[in-house]
């Protein structure tokens, strides 16, 4: 079965999370794989929230392909039915087309083609299509790594997580995600003294004090950190642009502007070089005529590999002082996989072969989160891809989590060819 047919039928299974309903999609993929003799099982920690695990081949080496089956809700104002899976004009349309049912379809199709061709693998290809990634993954990859780790343990894994390719001055750039920033969400609390609003000087206004704290956060200049993989990426971007600037902590923002990239990519690079703090919720006060004695603010803080909870709390204390109570409300360590490995070199080389003359493959850190965090925490090296055909329309990238989500057939087939050949070479 061709990958676009698999993707179209996967899209037609509505797995919007919540509520999920991933078991239906897992069963669909299992039926395809079982037709060619590939062993499958569905792990279902809660009703309807199943993840597929499939295994093909045998031998000492193990390669894990992982994707997720849930999608974000579609919303309104689409130009086509979000769960139609319509194939038209060389494009597959619908929610999940690039996040991330395309990867699931490509991974399954790669295994189907290898099996039908009678390829004898000297190793095992494991496919995990998981539930719940869009809401954190606790019922999917989180459950599998906590309860079924030996079923998915592998030498390395290939997942989503890299940005789509860029074309800069005719140079195609592809990316392999080697790490993800961690989360250190925090709550700030400021306490004051209430009094009647007509005589505010008798009190201590907690909202005013919190406003000063938030203003200080807005002026915060975080430490610049250039990990080796990001340094390699910035040097290559500089070379392509013809800039004679060696990236340093002192000139990084100047360099990012000089690169003249799309703003989204520029800001992603900027966030890869430092801890980011964004105060996104604030609340205080109970009545217009009462000076508030309590104000709280919630911060989205993202940290780089090498930074931790102690670092966050120390930075906030230096910035805000003892008068602002700080509590970490959600914390997850950054995760990282080295690019100085045989799997990375194999993936980078294969990308160059399939993407065409001049294509360069570079490591990148993600500012967001995928199921790779669970794998790395469990000791499984993980790499993320976002491969697309060299002539893909960059406008499709904006449809991820947006309206009119879609992917072109050529890009889907390139993913399939990449995954098929990677398995063949690594498990030879």
For the stretch 27-78, pLDDT in tens is 999 999 999 999 999 999 999 999 999 999 999 999 999 999 999 999 999 9
Tell me, yes or no, whether 116 and 194 share the same domain.
Answer: no
Do 409 and 325 fall into the same domain?
no
| Whole-number pLDDT of residue 357 | 84
**Are 328 and 209 found together in one domain?**
yes
> Do residues 312 and 202 make contact, with C-beta atoms less than 8 angstroms apart?
no
Average pLDDT, the chain: 97
Distances (CA, A) of 108 to 53, 104, 177, 226: 11, 6, 21, 37
Q: How many domains does the chain contain in total?
A: 2
- Domain of 239 in residue numbering reads as 180-332
CB 402 within 8 A of CB 378: no
Question: Which domain CATH number covers 88?
Answer: 3.40.630.10
What is residue 146's predicted lDDT score, i.e. its pLDDT?
98
| Cα–Cα distance, 277 to 222 (Å, whole number) | 9
Residues 383 and 326 in one domain: no
Residue 303 and residue 408 share a domain: no
* Contact predicate 296/285, CB 8 Å: no
φ/ψ of 256, rounded to 5, equals -60, -40
Q: Please, is 346 exposed, middle or buried when counting C-beta atoms within 10 Å of its C-beta (0-12, 13-18, 19+)?
A: middle
The residues that bridge with 364 in the sheet, in sequence order, are 177
Q: What does the alpha-carbon distance between residue 65 and residue 154 come to, in Å, rounded to a whole number?
A: 10
Within this chain, do residues 157 and 25 fall inside the same structural domain, yes or no?
Answer: yes
Q: Quick check: is 356 in a domain?
A: no
Domain co-membership, 124 together with 220 = no
**Same domain, yes or no, for 209 and 292?**
yes
pLDDT of 22 reads: 98
Which residue stretches of the chain have pLDDT < 50? none
- Give 210-223 as a DSSP string: HHHHHHHHHT--PP
Do residues 210 and 297 make contact, with C-beta atoms less than 8 angstroms apart? yes
| Residue 283 and residue 404 share a domain | no
Tell me the pLDDT tens digit for each residue of 358-411.
899 999 999 999 999 999 999 999 999 999 999 999 999 999 999 999 999 999
In a shared domain, residues 199 and 325: yes
Spatial separation of the C-alpha atoms in residues 383 and 427, rounded to whole Å: 17
The rounded distance, in Å, linking the Cα atoms of 299 and 278 is 5
**Stretch (H or E) spanning 7:** helix 3-11
């Amino acid at each position: 079965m061709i990958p676009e047919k698999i993707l179209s039928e996967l899209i037609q299974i509505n797995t919007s999370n919540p509520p999920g309903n991933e078991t239906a999609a897992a069963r669909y993929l299992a039926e395809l794989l079982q037709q060619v003799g590939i062993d499958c099982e569905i792990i279902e920690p809660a009703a309807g929230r199943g993840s597929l695990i499939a295994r093909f081949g045998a031998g000492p080496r193990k390669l894990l392909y992982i994707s997720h089956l849930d999608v974000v809700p579609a919303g309104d104002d689409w130009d086509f039915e979000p769960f139609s899976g319509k194939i038209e004009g060389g494009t597959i349309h619908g929610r999940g087309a690039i996040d991330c049912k395309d990867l699931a379809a490509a991974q399954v199709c790669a295994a189907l083609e290898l099996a039908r061709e009678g390829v004898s693998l000297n190793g095992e290809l494991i496919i995990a299509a998981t539930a719940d990634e869009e809401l954190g993954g606790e019922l999917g990859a989180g459950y599998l790594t906590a309860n079924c780790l030996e079923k998915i343990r592998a030498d390395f894994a290939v997942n989503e997580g890299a940005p789509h390719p860029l074309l800069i001055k005719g140079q195609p750039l592809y990316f392999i995600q080697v790490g993800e920033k961690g989360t250190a969400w925090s709550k700030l609390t400021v306490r004051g003294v209430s009094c009647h609003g007509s005589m505010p000087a008798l009190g201590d206004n907690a909202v005013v004090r919190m406003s000063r704290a938030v203003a200080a956060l807005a002026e915060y200049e975080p430490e610049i950190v250039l990990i080796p993989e990001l340094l390699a990426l910035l040097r290559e971007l500089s070379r392509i642009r013809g800039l004679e600037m060696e990236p340093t902590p002192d000139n990084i923002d100047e360099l990012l502007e000089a690169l003249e990239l799309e703003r989204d990519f520029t800001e992603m690079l900027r966030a890869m070089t430092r801890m980011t703090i964004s105060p996104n919720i604030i609340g205080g006060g109970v009545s217009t005529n009462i000076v508030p004695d309590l104000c709280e603010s919630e911060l989205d803080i993202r940290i780089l590999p090498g930074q931790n909870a102690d670092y966050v709390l120390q930075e906030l204390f230096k910035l805000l002082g003892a008068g602002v109570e700080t509590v970490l409300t959600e914390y997850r360590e950054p995760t990282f996989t080295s690019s100085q490995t045989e799997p990375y070199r194999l993936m980078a080389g294969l990308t160059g072969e399939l993407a065409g003359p001049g294509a360069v493959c570079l490591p990148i850190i993600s500012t967001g989160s995928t199921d790779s965090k669970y794998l790395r925490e469990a000791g499984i090296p993980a790499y993320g891809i976002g491969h697309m055909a060299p002539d893909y329309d960059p406008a499709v990238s904006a449809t991820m989590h947006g309206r009119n989500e879609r992917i072109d057939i050529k890009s889907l087939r390139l993913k399939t060819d990449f995954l098929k050949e990677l398995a063949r070479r690594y498990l030879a």
